[in-house]
Chain A
Amino acid sequence: MDYMTLLQVLDTTVRLAIPLLLACLAGLFSERAGIFDIGLEGKMLAAAFLSAAVAATSGSVWVGLLAGIGASVALSLIHGLASITFRGNQLISGVAINFLAAGMTVLIAQSWFQQGGRTPSLTGAARFNPLTLPFADSISEVPVIGPAYSELISGHALVVYIAFAIVPLSWWVLYRTRFGLRLRAVGENPAAVDTAGISVVGLRYAAVIICGVLCGIAGAYLSTALQAGFIKDMSAGRGFIALAALIFAKWRPWHAMYACLLFGLFQALELRPDIIERLIGIRVQSQLLSALPYIMTVVILAGLGGKAIPPRAGGEPYVKER
């Protein structure tokens, strides 16, 4: 495999890993606070729809992004209301959100645009266009580093750089701030946090809102950067792969990034069966590659390669003792 092909595969890896990474970090915040969230998929889908719809009508991708985040946060709040305030089952609430998003997006899209559950195609400023980083053209002639910089690092949508910046930011917030300590504590032992006089409900709501914002960016990236409009069910299971990545990363931000890049690499390789055939000499079924993330997650869950322990209070509504 020559160097340029390698760069192209890595380039695809980055593009495909970004929605996974954002959704995975979203799940990280929520689950670290003790709220399991299998509604990542639905939130991404709702955000993908509303950001594309608003970007199409307003002509500005930024207004679209805000609308997408709004849609996702609204669904997060529904999840919060059901599972924090009313202490309902978090899994059921998450499933309900997935169904709600899958149905409502198509229904509203059809009623607004009459294009069969799609949004109009976005052009120009209504889309996140690729950014060319400074000097990308001038140093592309430099061997090895030049093409890597101009092909792989430069030329992505702004959201990609934001997503990578959110990784250290998440680590810092979770491990180096008072808020982060409390957030992690509320997922491990909410009673202790309550005893210290800190609001468990408030912290958990903050976590699901952060989750909503990140899912919103992920959804907007799908429909306004990778694509030029919304199509029904376009999230295509990425929210679930993100959940698998979260378990694979054992609920840690840096590892979440590695896991998502790895899963993104699998998806990228699945697109290039010719490369795998040249590398290892046999033809690998593409189905195997698309199933790999799940297989690896099951292996991790089975206790091979270190134990994956979820936050202890995860999935349980907090009831104050009386």
Chain B
Amino acid sequence: MTLMTKFLGAAAGIALSAGAAFADPALIFDLGGKFDKSFNEAAFNGAQRWAEETGGSFLEIELQSEAQREQALRRFAEAGANPVITTGFAFADPVSVVAPDYPDTKFINIDGWMPEVPANVQLIGFQEHQGSYLVGMMAAMASKTGTVGFIGGMDIPLIRHFGCGFAQGVKAVNPDAKVIANMTGTTPTAWNDPVKGSELTKAQISQGADVVYAAAGGTGVGVLQTAADEGILSIGVDSNQNHLHSGKVLTSMLKRVDVAVYDSMTAGAAMETGGFTTLGLAEEGVGYALDEHNAALVSADMKAAVDAAREKIIAGDLEVVAYYANDSCPVLDF
């Protein structure tokens, strides 16, 4: 049965790809949803920028359930889309299953990891721990109580990776600082539960936190809202979220998913595949946001210290430990 579908799928793929010489790229958004004001929205913005600049068009789909992953990949591959870009770590497995059936289609996955990368797959990753380290430093400098909070979305290694970098940044500035880390949940609903995000924020405030960093997709909207209501500072993630509560969001940890998507679409079918691309501080793949909404919150000292750390990390003089290195964090217990 599986073999049969594979043959049929492959046959259909060959038949269709022949007629799709000038293929449109396709973009598949993960369960957080296209407009999560965060990760997926950044991907969409990158695609939108590409479409506006080149006048091209792209195919897109927003997933509604886990079961649709493989189906959506096959649908786009068979429709002749090239490259097929997927956002989110959860796409790694379906991509590794589907990619060998469509050797002429390039698959790109952002955030995923697979032990062996097929020849037509490219994985793009970000050094989130480096960006999180910088905002962690800022949090520690802005905190008056010496306690800061981290609120993650779904409890997965990637989100721990964010939290771990953040905690290292905090400890670098103030070794006595306390970092409270909470995860919203263990299922995908954890990305869209702002009510729980709010309550976690209140719980952290009652433990003394006065700066909270949310890496939680749509749940983060609740975190930022409550932080603003309760008069503490918050830190956004992925997209620049400073404008959501002007003057109350300390900064945002930028993850330039938009750049990754834009570059992939620009490269198009000629994209080099078969390996990993890692975007860190040096490539401006991650960073912190500074604009008119948080200018008053970021002091000159703060900026100087963070920029100095940034230079050191790029030069290799300062190493931020990745959670993935041995699946644990030296300064934070999850």
Which A residues form the contact surface with B (CB < 8 A)? 5, 8, 12, 15-16, 19, 106, 110, 115-118, 121, 222, 226-229, 231-234, 236-237, 267-268, 271-274, 286-287, 290
Question: Is A115 touching B182 in the complex (CB atoms < 8 A)?
Answer: no
* Cross-interface CB contact of B221 among A15, A106, A231, A237, cutoff 8 Å: A231
Question: Is B202 touching A12 in the complex (CB atoms < 8 A)?
Answer: yes
In the assembled complex, the CB of B167 is this many whole angstroms from the nearest CB of chain A, namely: 16
With the chains together, A268 CA to B200 CA distance in Å? Answer: 9
In the assembled complex, the CB of A55 is this many whole angstroms from the nearest CB of chain B, namely: 15
Question: Is B203 touching A272 in the complex (CB atoms < 8 A)?
Answer: yes
Question: Is A231 touching B183 in the complex (CB atoms < 8 A)?
Answer: no
Query: A118's closest neighbor in chain B, by CB?
Result: B35
Is B225 part of the contact surface with A, judged by Cβ < 8 Å?
yes
Question: Is A12 touching B203 in the complex (CB atoms < 8 A)?
Answer: yes
Question: Is B192 touching A271 in the complex (CB atoms < 8 A)?
Answer: no
With the chains together, A227 CA to B203 CA distance in Å? Answer: 16
Question: Is B183 touching A233 in the complex (CB atoms < 8 A)?
Answer: no
Q: Is the interface of A mostly helix, strand, loop or mixed?
A: helix
Interface residues of B, CB < 8 Å — how many? 30
Is B83 part of the contact surface with A, judged by Cβ < 8 Å?
no
**What 1/0 mask marks residues of chain B from 227 to 262 whose CB sits below 8 Å from any chain A CB?**
001000000000000001000000000000000000
Is B71 part of the contact surface with A, judged by Cβ < 8 Å?
no
Given A116-B41, A232-B33, A271-B182, verify A226-B195 contact (CB < 8 Å). yes
Q: Is the interface of B mostly helix, strand, loop or mixed?
A: helix
Query: A106's closest neighbor in chain B, by CB?
Result: B33
* Cross-interface CB contact of B198 among A116, A227, A267, A273, cutoff 8 Å: A227
Question: Is A237 touching B189 in the complex (CB atoms < 8 A)?
Answer: yes
With the chains together, A239 CA to B145 CA distance in Å? Answer: 38
With the chains together, A290 CA to B34 CA distance in Å? Answer: 27
In the complex, besides A12-B202, A229-B225, A233-B189, 18 extra interface pairs with C-beta distance below 8 angstroms are A5-B206, A12-B199, A12-B203, A116-B33, A116-B36, A118-B35, A226-B198, A227-B194, A228-B229, A229-B221, A232-B192, A236-B195, A236-B196, A267-B199, A268-B199, A274-B180, A290-B185, A290-B186
With the chains together, A226 CA to B207 CA distance in Å? Answer: 20
Question: Is A228 touching B225 in the complex (CB atoms < 8 A)?
Answer: yes
In the assembled complex, the CB of B165 is this many whole angstroms from the nearest CB of chain A, namely: 21
Chain B residues closer than 8 Å to A15, beta-carbon distance: 199
Question: Is A227 touching B222 in the complex (CB atoms < 8 A)?
Answer: yes
Question: Is B34 touching A116 in the complex (CB atoms < 8 A)?
Answer: yes
Q: Which of A16, A231, A268, A272 has the most CB of B within 10 A?
A: A231
In the assembled complex, the CB of B46 is this many whole angstroms from the nearest CB of chain A, namely: 15
Chain A residues closer than 8 Å to B160, beta-carbon distance: none
Question: Is A231 touching B206 in the complex (CB atoms < 8 A)?
Answer: no
Query: A129's closest neighbor in chain B, by CB?
Result: B229
CB pairs A–B below 8 angstroms (15 shown): A8-B202, A8-B203, A16-B195, A118-B35, A222-B195, A226-B198, A227-B222, A229-B225, A231-B221, A232-B33, A232-B218, A236-B193, A267-B199, A271-B200, A286-B183
Is B37 part of the contact surface with A, judged by Cβ < 8 Å?
yes
Query: B201's closest neighbor in chain A, by CB?
Result: A271
Which B residues form the contact surface with A (CB < 8 A)? 33-37, 41, 180, 182-183, 185-186, 189, 192-196, 198-200, 202-203, 206-207, 218, 221-222, 225, 229, 244
With the chains together, A106 CA to B36 CA distance in Å? Answer: 12
Chain B residues closer than 8 Å to A115, beta-carbon distance: 35
The 7 closest A-B pairs by CB, nearest first: A116-B35, A236-B193, A271-B203, A233-B192, A8-B206, A236-B189, A226-B195
In the assembled complex, the CB of B206 is this many whole angstroms from the nearest CB of chain A, namely: 5
Query: B206's closest neighbor in chain A, by CB?
Result: A8
In the assembled complex, the CB of B193 is this many whole angstroms from the nearest CB of chain A, namely: 4
Question: Is B199 touching A287 in the complex (CB atoms < 8 A)?
Answer: no
With the chains together, A67 CA to B304 CA distance in Å? Answer: 51
Chain A residues closer than 8 Å to B207, beta-carbon distance: 272, 274
In the assembled complex, the CB of B88 is this many whole angstroms from the nearest CB of chain A, namely: 16
With the chains together, A231 CA to B203 CA distance in Å? Answer: 22
With the chains together, A222 CA to B206 CA distance in Å? Answer: 22
Chain A residues closer than 8 Å to B193, beta-carbon distance: 234, 236
Chain A residues closer than 8 Å to B36, beta-carbon distance: 116
With the chains together, A268 CA to B37 CA distance in Å? Answer: 27
With the chains together, A201 CA to B121 CA distance in Å? Answer: 60
Chain B residues closer than 8 Å to A233, beta-carbon distance: 189, 192
With the chains together, A16 CA to B196 CA distance in Å? Answer: 9
In the assembled complex, the CB of A18 is this many whole angstroms from the nearest CB of chain B, namely: 11
Question: Is A227 touching B202 in the complex (CB atoms < 8 A)?
Answer: no
With the chains together, A236 CA to B194 CA distance in Å? Answer: 9
In the assembled complex, the CB of A194 is this many whole angstroms from the nearest CB of chain B, namely: 42
Chain A residues closer than 8 Å to B206, beta-carbon distance: 5, 8
Query: A127's closest neighbor in chain B, by CB?
Result: B229
With the chains together, A195 CA to B199 CA distance in Å? Answer: 51
Chain B residues closer than 8 Å to A231, beta-carbon distance: 192, 194, 218, 221-222
Chain A residues closer than 8 Å to B186, beta-carbon distance: 287, 290
With the chains together, A267 CA to B192 CA distance in Å? Answer: 16
With the chains together, A123 CA to B51 CA distance in Å? Answer: 36
Chain A residues closer than 8 Å to B196, beta-carbon distance: 236, 267, 271
